[in-house]
Amino acid sequence: MATVTPEASLNALPRADGSARYSYAGYTVTASVNGPIEAQRRDEHAYEAHVDVIVRPSAGVGGTRERHLEFILQSSLSQIILVKNFPRSVIQIVLQVESTPENAYVNTKLVQASLNLPIIPALFQTAVLALLSAAVPMKATATSTVVAVVSDDGSKKIVADPSPQDIREATSLHVLAFTSHDELLLSESEGDFTVKEWDGVYENAQKICCQTASKQDGIDMVLDDDASSPDMRHFLRSTLETKVASDLHWK
């Protein structure tokens, strides 16, 4: 499978404070960020800003699954946003899923109640990009990835950014997010795995999410077996650099 590189465009929506469109591994998500704006009475918090995350699925209306995704994203994003700087206000993040990977082999149902782990990195990445585009003060950026453990003739193989077919065959599926301080921000796993396997997954995911830091020594990690998987932190940086360069072009 040819790994396509992630693509993103910033400020795609003219009326929002910030917005981003991100597509990778079959997922396309558009996010808009408005904030800090005045909070309604019920959302108002005396000491910090309320982070409001809304996830809209590509088809149909959001159900319990979307509520759960919103809850996961909200608790992670409010950790990296400087919420204490904006008491009594709201930072609203709306995430619209535009497309999800299609697979002829996997039966797709419109309404599914089960947890949708592989979509979390796409949503998370888009939200971070949109927050950066809206210039919301943050204490760190974060990167996220999904990793599957696939049983391959008795031996376990770790696959980064698995396809729907891989996910179907996987014994376990893991989503991890790291902040730019290399701290584990989010970890969601399901399936059947051992502590040892989780360690392997952790190392793999850390490599994908935090690679730029280790590349600073000037050593290019060519020997990596998953060298094809993208370097998320570098991607985040280069996207913003391109944006800043084009914005300041008139100077």
Partner 1 sequence: MAATVPAPSLSFSRPTFAKLSPHPYLLTNLTDPENPCRTNGRAPHEARPVHIHTSSLAHANGSALVRTGDTTVVCGVRAEILPVTNIPQYRPREPSYGEEDNDDSADVDELKDYDLLVPNIELATGCAPQFLPGVPPTTLAQTLSTRIYSLLHSCKVVDPKGLRVWYTPPKETREEGAMEVDEAQEEEEEEEERKPELKAYWVLYIDLLFVSFDGNPFDAAWTAVMAALRDTKLPQARWDPDREAVVCSRSEEAKMALDVRGLPVACTATVFLEKEHGEDSGSSAERKSRHWILLDPDRLEESLCKETVTVVVDCSGEETKVKSIEKHGGTVIGRELMRGFIGVAEGRWQEVKEASK
* Residue 179: CB minimum distance to partner 1, A: 6
* Residue 243: CB minimum distance to partner 1, A: 25
Q: Which of residues 40-79 bind partner 1 (CB under 8 A)?
A: 47, 63-65, 67-68, 70-72, 75-76, 78-79
Q: Which of 139, 156, 215, 237 binds partner 1 (CB under 8 A)?
A: 139
* Residue 174: CB minimum distance to partner 1, A: 8
251, amino acid identity: K
The kind and range of the H/E element at 244 are: helix 232-247
Q: Which of residues 164-223 bind partner 1 (CB under 8 A)?
A: 168-169, 174, 179, 181, 183-195, 198-199, 202
* Residue 193: CB minimum distance to partner 1, A: 5
Task: CB nearer to partner 1: give 16 or 197.
Answer: 197
Closest CA to 130 of 22, 244, 235, 241: 22
Residues 4, 102 contacting (CB under 8 angstroms): no
The kind and range of the H/E element at 28 are: strand 27-38
Query: What spatial distance separates the first Cα and last Cα of the chain, rounded to whole Å?
Result: 43
Binding mask 98-117 for partner 1 (x = CB under 8 A): ---------x-x---xxx--
Please name every residue paired with 170 in a beta bridge, in sequence order, or none if there are none.
150
CA distance 232 to 209: 5
Residue 234 binds partner 1 (CB under 8 A): no
Backbone angles phi, psi at 76, to 5 degrees: -80, -40
Residues 177, 117 contacting (CB under 8 angstroms): no
- Give me the residues that bind partner 1 (CB under 8 A), please: 47, 63-65, 67-68, 70-72, 75-76, 78-79, 82-85, 107, 109, 113-115, 139, 168-169, 174, 179, 181, 183-195, 198-199, 202
